[in-house]
Structures are given as C-alpha cells and as structure tokens.
Structure 1
Amino acid sequence: MKQLLLTASLLLCTQQAQAFSQETHKRIVEDAVAYMAQHPSTTQYQKLQTWSQQLGLTPQQLGEFMGQAAYDVDDFEDTFLCGAITGNCVQAPIWGAAQSIVKYTSYWHFQNHTQGADPHGNDFGGYNYDKLTVWGTVDTLAATWLKGDHLDDGQGGQTGWFGADKSQYNSFQITEKNYRIESHSQYSMYKDFEKIPFQPIDNLGQYWYQSYLTHKNPQLLGFVFHTTDLLQPHHTWTTSDLNHSGWETWVKDYYDHESLNDFSLVSAAMDSFSPLASQSQDIRPLLTQGGALSYAQGGIVLNSQDHYDRVITAKQVIPHAIAMVVHLLNHAMEQQ
C-alpha cells in the first residue's frame, strides 16, 4: 500500500488542467462509493467492502484513494510536443496556465461526438483541431502556436531543423501506443499538431482498466475514473474554449451548494446506462454511453454562462458521471 501511495504522490502537482476540475473528479469517485454504501442491495458494495478490508482500508478511504488517482491523471508527464524548428520537446505551452492548457496530456481526454470514425478506426475520435466543428480562440491559439510541431517519438526520430532533437519522452511509442487499443497508427499522423488525431479518452480508460485487471491495483482503477470527462460537454463537443474553464470552475464551486451529487438523481441516472456484461472486459461501450449523454444534454454550456442553464446541465451530467463510476465499480468488483 505504501508503494501505491508513493506512486500517486509522484504524479501529483498543483496546477489546474483541462478537464472537469481535479477536485470534481475526486468528488465524483468518492460520491460513487458513498452511493454504493447506501445502496448495497443494488450494487456490488459488499465486494467493494471486502476488497477495501484486504487493502487495510475502509471503503471511504478506498474511495478517497481512487478519487485521488482520478485527480492525478491530469498531471501525467507522458505527452511532449516538439518544436518544428528547434526540436525542443515540452509537456505544456508557456502560455498554457492562463488558458487551461496546462499539459498536453489533456489532449487524450476527448471523444468527439460531432464527427464519426477517426483515421485510427475508432468509432469516435479524440481531439483533432483539423476536425473540430466548434472551436474558439484557445483552440486556434494552440494550433497557431504549435503549427508543424510533432509528438515526441524519442531520440533519433522526428527532428527540428538541421537535425535538432531534444527528445524528452517517447510519447508516440509509449503513451500513444498504450491508447492505441484495437486501432492503428502511423507516426505520420503525429507530425503536425494542427492535424494530429489524438486517441479518444475511452481508449485511455480501457488501457488502465486492462492494467487494473492484471494487477488489481486500486490506483490503476482510479485512473480509469478520469473518463468522467466524457460527461463534461466540452469534451464531447470537443473544444478547449467556449466557456470550457469557466464551466468547470462553476461546477467545482457549486457542487455542494446546488446538490449536484443528489443521490436520487444518481439513482435515476443508473437506469440510463446499459450495464456491462460481467464476462466482458471491454468497458468502452459504457463510456461511450456517458459521452452520448453529455453531447445530447450539455451543449448549452458552451454558449451560455447563465446560472440556471448551468444548474440544469450540471444536474444531468454530474449524477450521470457518478452513476457511470458506480457501474464501472460494479463491473470491477465482479472481476475480483
């Protein structure tokens, strides 16, 4: 257990990233565990309780630990983009903190429901500036700043001018490969940022879920729960702008005041999902259901900052995010 906590601490930093706020990610997981505790007859809470005891934790402590792991995904140092001229590879733009693009790893956290299949063969692709149907200044600023920049593919791979190569991390052969599940990629897809088809977040979730099934490590399962970004409408309409950061801050600020985690709403949301078959290890169909919900119900928050509009949307997407985690926990406990 000490090793798990050490690993988590190594991933943690203090910066805000582009997703549901990190605090919101953690609260969603904690609330999912609390919901299970209140509904033991309709969830796999007893198995969750047994697992937590085996780990030397209470269910609440386990929820906090997995919630912290969901929080940590925004802090992964696994995605570097390299200058077209300098070959210098960095994990964030220098202007990113002011524009909610703190780390490039956030570009793996989208599932574009405004488009169909992507060049990788996924039913829904991820972030791809060239394929956006809604966008704003932040998207355009990134594409302009990063024009021609490439995904780090290790020393001796793609370079800047005159062979300049300041590789930091082979993101193509590690991160992208991890998220390439049942799809295909060629490095040529990642040579120009403004045309890069990033893998979608459901593949990220599937990778970490497969890792959890192999190791039964609660931190790995917590990483899966970052896929509640699929209930954040900006991540399914796919834009870094259009009130993206402001909406996420509002959700964090009003999470308790507006009772966005109302368990009666979570109970209703539970029925909106088709549960995963216990014998299946592919969780992506459930994740895509969450993405379809936020795309269908949440578009107004891209264009409105009205408090009432935000409350109506948040009372749809947050209970569904909690319900999605409950379904994932139910399935995970059936695999114990």
Structure 2
Amino acid sequence: MKKIILCALLGTLALNVHAFSQETHKRIVVDAVNYMAQNPSSTQYQKLSQYAQANNMSVASLAQLLGQAAFDVDDFEDTFFCGAITGDCVQAPLWGAAQSIVKYTSYWHFQNHTQGADVHGNDFGGYNWEKLTVWGSVDSIASTWLKGDYLDDGRGGETGWFRADDTEYNSYGITEANYRIDSHSTYSMYDDFEEMPFQPIDNLGQYWYQKYLQSGNPQILGFVFHTTDLLQPHHTWTTSDLNHASWESWVKDYYDAENLNNTQLVREALNSFSPLSDNAQDIRPLLTQGGAFSYAQGGIVLNSKDHYDRLNTAKLVIPHSIAMVVHLLNHAMVAR
C-alpha cells in the first residue's frame, strides 16, 4: 500500500530527473562542432576534419554522431537497484516507466559543490541522499521508495530475504568500478540507497575519455560530452527536484527562440576556462571548472520559474556548456 500511494504522488509531480534534456545535450555538441567550423584558426577544426575523414564521414555527420552519443548516456542500462525484501533488480522505478523518465543510471550524473571531498576520496562527490543540502519531494519520496534497496552486485552477492536474488547486472562490479577512478569503494557503501555515495560525473567523463584515447572511437568520445550536466545547476547543487523538470523543458523550448547558443557568448565563455595542456591525460580539472561555474551562477533556477531569471542563467550556462565541449574537442584532437 505504501508504494502504491508513493507511486500516485510521484505521478502528480511529473518527475523527470534529466539535467539538460537529451535533445539539449545533442544540440550543445553539434553547436560546439559548428563553432569550431566557424573559427578554424582558433580551434583544432582542421584536426577535427581529418578525424572525421579518417572515420569515413563528413564533419556534419561526425557532429551528429558525437551529439547522439552524448544523448544516449541517459539511456545506459548499467545501473540496477534491488529490492531489500524481494531481491528483484530493476533499472528504473515503476513511477519512472514513462519514456521521458531517466533510469537509475542518472544518479552517476552529479557533482555536489555544496559538499567537499566524499568518502571515496574525490574532491567533490556525486549524488548522496544523506548528504544533500537542498532537496525536494522527489528526493524525499525516492529515498522512501528505495529505502534499504541495494545496488546490484551480481550473482551470489547481496540478496533479499531468504536469499532471493534476481540479479540483472553487476552494477557495483562494472559501473561503479568503471567510475571509481583514483578513488576507493567498498560494497557496504552501496547496500542501502539512502546512504549510497554515488561517484561523480567527472569520473564518468574521465572513464570514457580514457577509453577514447585507447580506441579513437568517436561514439565513445561522444559519451564524454554528457558531462555538460555539470553546467546544469541542479546537478551541482544536487537535487532531483526544485524545478528540475520544468527548467529542463524551458531550456529545450527556448534554445533557439532565445538564441542560447549565441556565438559571441560562446567565445566569451571559452576564455573563462583554463584549457588543458596538450599532454594532459586527466580532463577532470576542466570538467570541475564547469561545475564550479554552474554552482556559482545558477542557483536561482532551483527556486524561480520566472522567464527572465531562467533566461539570465541559460545565457550563462548554455554558452559555457558549448565552450566546455569545444575545449574537450580541441584536446581530444591533439591528445592521441
């Protein structure tokens, strides 16, 4: 009965815990490539063009592929939570079954700037319900719905009552391990949702960037660009609520109408980042710059739905998102 009531409540909240919508993630990447094409002398556009040719595609097709990969990260089927009693493991809650609702994988897409270092040893941690400093009904209801639920750790690991074990994917041994870069974890950190210290999104970006450096695969490089979530204030203030869904929809609806990808604003935003050195292997310092910017500039959108409050923030964070991708593309073209 408790979960039936919670399901009804969440339905009324129109829950959507994407940061930027998937469409916006794709637009940001495409606009970053377009900026490079328009500014070949100040970017690594020539190397990007050669990279496209080496992969038997045009620059425009490469932009679409990279953008689609950034889009696709929200659809990863890599994170399952299991019922504390039933042992049944699922990748999304019942109230998240609608197509627009992200899966549990979205909990890896935060970098909490309201806290310092986390239990793993990261300079900034990820989503951790126990450590939230701002939250709303979605955060609170999710913590109730998932109370005691554990991260799937494969066959023979944690189970429900009477050793019930319907494991679907070893999320701890694969996903968490992938994102455990330069940090440490124990499974006891992940055996109760309300205490789980998820790895931050910059570790996700670093994992996929390492894979790109090893393979040169453009789809894998595109996965890195989902880290523009760091320019979404909800993901650095860290909450699944507080106008999260309506802000996302507003950005998508007004992206073109309000010229949020203004070239001059992107040019100015580029200068606000400290670029990575050509031989750097760790992109997380650049990513954290983006997170620090959104945390410092964007808090008002957690509490205001006013069009002009949102516009003022969007004219900061969208150009900075595009600029961050340009910096990452510049680096990617010279780092291999």
**Structure 1 position 56, deviation (Å):** 1.4
Which stretches in structure 1 are left out of the alignment for 5+ residues?
A: 1-15
* 2:180 aligned residue: 180
Instruction: Measure the CA separation in 2 of the matches of 1:33 and 1:78.
Output: 29
Counterpart CA distance in 2 for 1:19 and 1:103 is: 12
2:289 is matched with which residue?
A: 289
- Relative to structure 1, is the Cα distance of residues 162 and 154 closer, same or farther in structure 2, using a 3 angstrom cutoff? same
Contact 1:127 1:197 in 2 (8 A): yes
Q: Letter of the 2:126 partner, please give it.
A: G
Aligned to 1:4: none
CA shift in 2, pair 1:99/1:234, >3 Å: farther
Q: CA RMSD in A?
A: 1.3
Corresponding residue of 1:312: 312
Deviation per CA, 1:268-314: give whole Å up to 9, x if none: 00001000011111000000000000000000000000000000000
Distance (whole Å) between structure 2 residues aligned to residue 308 and residue 178 of structure 1 = 40
Equivalent pair of 1:17/1:100 in contact (CA under 8 Å): no
Q: Which string of whole-angstrom CA distances, capped at 9 and with x for unpartnered residues, describes residues 68-117 of structure 1? A: 00000000000000000000000000012569753000000000000000
Q: Deviations over 1:100-158 (max 9, x none)?
A: 75300000000000000000000000000000000000000100000000000001000
Aligned residues: 322
Please list, as runs of the form range in 1=range in 2, the aligned pairs for 1:226-237 lying within 5 A after superposition.
226-237=226-237
1:330 aligns with 2:313: no
Matches of 2:107 and 2:174 in 1, distance apart?
15
2:162 aligns with: 162
Aligned to 2:196: 196
One-letter amino acid of the counterpart of residue 276, structure 1 = L
Contact 1:17 1:75 in 2 (8 A): no
> Deviation of residue 55 (structure 1)?
1.1
Shift of 1:19: 2.1
Read off the aligned partner of 1:127 and give its amino acid letter.
Y
Q: Could you tell me how far apart the structure 1 residues matched to 2:311 and 2:25 are?
A: 18
Where does the alignment leave 5 or more consecutive residues of structure 2 unmatched? 1-15
TM-score w.r.t. the length of structure 1 is 0.94
The answer on whether the counterparts of 2:17 and 2:240 sit within 8 Å (CA) in structure 1 is no
Cα separation, 1, equivalents of 2:61 and 2:96: 33
Alignment of 1:136-285 (within 5 A): 136-285=136-285
Q: CA deviation at 1:240?
A: 0.2
Structure-2-length-normalised TM-score: 0.94
Supply the distance in 1 between the matched residues of 2:134 and 2:96 (Cα, whole angstroms). Answer: 20
Amino acid paired to 1:278: D
- C-alpha distance in structure 1 between counterparts of 2:246 and 2:97, whole Å: 14
Q: Which residue of 1 aligns with 2:11?
A: none
Percent identity, aligned pairs only?
75
8 Å Cα contact 1:100/1:245 also seen in 2: no
- Relative distance call for 1:45 and 1:195 in structure 2 (3 A) is same
8 Å contact kept, 2:280–2:335: no
Q: Which amino acid aligns with 1:77?
A: E
Letter in 1 for 2:54: Q
* 2:82 corresponds to 1:82: yes
Q: Which residue of 2 aligns with 1:10?
A: none
Match of 2:105 in 1: 105
SS where residue 235 of structure 1 aligns? helix
**Structure 1 residue ranges, 4+ long, deviating more than 4 angstroms after superposition:** 97-101
Cα displacement (A) at 1:18: 1.6
> Which deviations, in whole Å up to 9, do the C-alpha atoms of 1:139-186 show, x marking residues without a partner?
001000000000000010000011111000000000000000000000
SS in 1 for 2:94: coil
Structure 2: distance between partners of 1:152 and 1:99: 23
What is the distance in 2 between the residues matched to 1:62 and 1:162?
51
